[in-house]
Structure 1
């Protein structure tokens, strides 16, 4: 239910933000070469990131995260789980048919917190009051008849909760939760969980930031945060560089030679859909469990993407440029250097960005291969101990580093390939 609500809220905020930003943008549209184009739909050069949309997207994600985790950093929250003292009444019926009412007092508290006992009068009659406590997001089995006078006699049972009839397997809603009756006649109280995510599933931004501070200060599994990230970054870059160093020449050869294309095309097309995770057993057998195995796994993750990108770049070169170069007396080497390589670089940079993302996604699996340091190792180890805040911290840091590398690659592409998108 909470997951569906998050999706609905996100879609609604997306639609509202798009409408507002588009309406404002029409009034403040800047006048440049792109704005003067008469045909823009389908023209990639006319589509540029809307910076307002990017900022709003990040803000919306943070607001939703904070609202559904009870963060103090956001002003609006969805209903939180109930915590505090509550009570409900039940009606007990003796074997002779007589009935009496009693109260059940329940204290709902945070998991693991020290809780004072509830002090209240047991009441009069044969049905006596009960007292219990339950952690938030949990439930408590309340044997309400255990202290009732004659509660252990055959035929003694609970027939109503808060005045509403109840049978084994039934339930009654209360102001702060739900009272269920087990098949054996005992009561189970489930406090209202609200609509916020459980910390086990998604911790609040404050808890994740505290995890960053703790790991940066005290380390995690005998290594500092920067050592974990540094080892992962080294493995990713090493695997990516090796994959590019072999994949790009291979792609050029496949794009320029029918023999290379025929020889390597089955291999590349066969390996391309194979996920790197499936290769882990072979990597362990062939290269062991040291750094070599991890780098090789990342190398294989990048190799096929770079080969296909280079091959597509060669295939996409405008043939009229090749003919023009030949007509001017250019040799094959000159055509390769001045026509094919420059015009294939945009596809190669696109493949490089994809390959880098795949390598970052694979590093978690690579560091499952008996690693004792690395961001992936930190995430997987924390998940075993249900330290979700460390898991989320690692995911965010990997995403930030990967995004930063992608920005650097975009800047490099703008500098090295300024002719991209121009014929």
Structure 2
């Protein structure tokens, strides 16, 4: 075992435990974190005001149901679609297909985009190869290259997953690259001075330092995935939340449209809260040192 292996492992474990035990949490930094009661209360109050305004405006006759149905109508439609279904599929079926497409693409993006982003951060050749490609297609809306994806992959599930995957790839890769670039050069020099190899520096110094940015990129990427879902399910889909919303819009079923939007938003929010919890467990030092 090299001098770096022993000392680095002890230093990392000691720093980790000390930060988790002693570092104070910033009030309002994350939902569910100690000391953020005021932030959570404000968020709940905001939701109450929004839904209260929605209830008063729709039940008071200020807005026609065609443009904005009441919360009761949306809830009734949620129960009806859950029990009876919509467009030949139940709500759970729609949710299942959409989750399969989004999270399937997310797993593929994590497995490919993060290594590419790290390579872009540590290797000039990789940065020269991938950076112009990623930066070129990143601003393009998914609908712009949807026809090309259909030509390449057909109208099956592959084209839907590929479209969502492409929407997620760029933010994940760029976040990983930014995380690598955020590593202090002094840390790298200190590791080399202790006899570390390039692989050890990458594993023990660069990867832990880049992890906060990578987790943030994962949260951003899944948001892009849900945003692209509706576009992906425009192509020959028979089930899915985006398909349900598009079908309901053709029949002017505004209550189903809003219900589908709320379900998509709720699923995205639950995933984001899960990522925040994971972030607190994996990088407890973030924002505290």
Residue 347 to residue 275, structure 1, CA distance change in 2 (3 Å): same
Structure 2: how far apart are the matches of 1:340 and 1:380?
44
- State the partner residue of 1:199: 65
Structure 1: how far apart are the matches of 2:204 and 2:255?
52
* TM-superposed deviation, 1:320: 1.6
Give unpaired runs (5+ residues) of structure 2.
Answer: 1-22, 28-32
Kept in 1, the 8 Å contact 2:25–2:288? The answer is no
Show CA shifts across 1:81-130 (max 9, x none).
xxxxxxxxxxxxxxxxxxxxxxxxxxxxxxxxxxxxxxxxxxxxxxxxxx
Structure 1: how far apart are the matches of 2:34 and 2:187?
24
Pairwise CA RMSD = 1.9
* TM-superposed deviation, 1:298: 0.6
* TM-superposed deviation, 1:419: 2.2
- State the partner residue of 1:66: 55
Matches for 1:148-227 after TM superposition, within 5 Å: 196-227=62-93
Length-normalised TM-score, structure 2: 0.86
- State the partner residue of 2:202: 336
Runs of 4+ in 1 over 6 A off after TM superposition: none
Structure 1: how far apart are the matches of 2:185 and 2:126?
20
Higher strand share: 1
SS state at 1:235 partner: helix
- State the partner residue of 1:139: none
Residue 261 to residue 385, structure 1, CA distance change in 2 (3 Å): same
Residue 34 to residue 342, structure 1, CA distance change in 2 (3 Å): closer
Equivalent of 2:42 in 53, 58, 76? 53
Kept in 1, the 8 Å contact 2:24–2:288? The answer is no
Larger Rg computed on CA atoms: 1
Equivalent of 2:154 in 284, 288, 295? 288
Structure 2: how far apart are the matches of 1:332 and 1:293?
39
Structure 1: how far apart are the matches of 2:169 and 2:263?
25
- State the partner residue of 1:265: 131
Length-normalised TM-score, structure 1: 0.60
* TM-superposed deviation, 1:420: 1.7
- State the partner residue of 2:7: none
* TM-superposed deviation, 1:33: 4.6
What is the aligned residue count? Answer: 261
- State the partner residue of 1:348: 214
Higher helix share: 2
SS state at 1:69 partner: helix
